[in-house]
Amino acid sequence: MRSPPPWSLRSSSGDDGEAYRQLARRWPASVTVVTTLRDGAPDGFTATAVLMVSIAPPIVLVSATRESSAWEMLGAAERFAVNLLHSTQRPLAEGFATPHERRGDLWRDLAPARDAHGIPLLPGSLGAFSARVRERVDAGDHVLVLGDVTEIHLGDEGPALLYGNRAYGTLRPEDER
Tell me phi and psi for residue 123, to 5 degrees.
Answer: -65, 145
Query: What pLDDT digit, counting tens, does each position of 140-156 carry?
Result: 999 999 999 999 999 99
pTM over 0.75: yes
What's residue 176's pLDDT? 66
Q: Give the Å distances, CA to CA, from 141 to 2, 11, 60, 64, 137.
A: 40, 23, 20, 9, 11
Band (94; pLDDT cuts 50, 70, 90): very high
